Amino acid sequence: MNLKISAKNQDITSLEENIKMLKTDTEQKDDEIVSLKMHASSQSENNSFIQAPPTHKPKNPHVLLIGTSNTKNIECEKLSAKSSTNKKIDYKFHETIEVIDSSTEETDLVLLHSLTNELKENTPEYCLEQMLSIINTCNEKWPRAKQVISLATPSLDRYNTKVDLLNAMIKFTFSDSSVVISDNRNLSRRGVPQSKLLSMTDKYHLSQAGTSQLAANFKESICTCLVYDQPSQSPIIKNIEKNGEKSIIDLIQEDVSKYNDLGDILVCGDFNARVGNSQDFILGDEHRDNPAFETDEINNCKPRESFDMQIDSSSVKPCVKTKNRTYKKFPQQFIWDETSSIKFLDVISKPEFIRKIAECVKKDIVNSQESIDAASDKLESIISDAA
């Protein structure tokens, strides 16, 4: 009797999962239909359309963490609030491949922490060869998924030299690939393993503090891959990786802290595509090509993968959004050259504009949407007239 009830419960669970999958597929198909209709409309109306919002929230990216016993005490739900993580424990390379081959779920990121155990018994050359094979297996299984290799953790015994050698080989081999390296060098200090982060029993398993640091490294790698999609070919990124002092996440955090007093709104994105003609806050970050706005074309541009449903023929389209209903185009697509800033200052320094600005500043602004919109419209009008 109990067996029959158990079998029925399994059937019910299976049916519920199938219904959930079918419902998700249906919602995705509905979005595709809306997207295709928008595309057809844009072709018949000079590519002018309003993008309809998705009918359902996109699901969070999925991460598959495959690791040794050092990952056993890592709580997956704490690695990222914007992704779901499934953890599989294995101890050997062949077990890692078995996990990948037997997996039946789609994944967006494969995080591999499989080097430490095998390095105890094998050469660095063998471990590198096996890791290449594992990455190839991942690419065949999930062509669109990203891969992260977590480097071997340090050891307090004589094997640490092998750890350093293997990690250097891994970093060199994958330096020009899309594989992301999770560098665990913060488990050492100036090249010497930190004893408080390692188990004093066998000298290579991680202590509780070491596991916490490893989890933090995983968290940063997941963020780098799924939240901030850094341009790997950027000379700035390559210079950061070459110097090896700080990660891109550390630099972003420093910039946010450094410039947070300069404004109230933070606009994030890749704005170096073809906008701006002078140096901004970051020294050495400038490009003197003047944007041609709607008339510009992108030639010989390396395609970049888009992770949203927007139908677009351009690689980058930055936008500053306002809730002001009376919003007008600004700066009204004026083409500025090297002398424009001087001419603008000459015009706006005239008594007429000084008087208008003084009136705008003296006007009492209350903390309401209507008052703020009116003040911003007035200031925008003054600047627009001067331009």
List the structure tokens of 324: 């002001």
Joined together, the tokens standing for residue 276 give: 């701006």
pLDDT tens digit string along 78-106? Answer: 888 778 888 888 888 889 999 998 888 88
| Backbone φ and ψ of 107, nearest 5° | -140, 150
pLDDT on residue 21 = 73
pLDDT reading at 76 higher than 80: yes
CATH 3.40.50.1110 residue spans of the chain: 62-229
Among 66-80, 140-154, 287-301, name the one with the lowest average pLDDT.
Answer: 287-301
Look at 246 and 45; give whichever has higher pLDDT.
246
CA distance 113 to 89: 10
Structure tokens at 229: 């999609």
Fold for domain 62-229? Rossmann fold (3.40.50)
Rounded to an integer, what is the distance from CA 332 to the centroid of its chain? 32
CA trace torsion 155, 156, 159, 164 (10° rounding): 60
| 122: exposed, middle or buried (Cβ count in 10 Å: 0-12, 13-18, 19+) | middle
Q: How far apart are CA 71 and CA 214, in angstroms?
A: 8
pTM > 0.75: no
For tokens 């890592």, name the residue.
74
- 85 in Cβ contact with 79 (< 8 Å): yes
In this predicted structure, what is the pLDDT of residue 304?
Answer: 41
Burial class for 115, CB neighbours closer than 10 Å (0-12, 13-18, 19+) = buried
Give tens-digit pLDDT for 218-241: 888 888 777 655 555 555 556 655
Residue with tokens 């050469």: 123
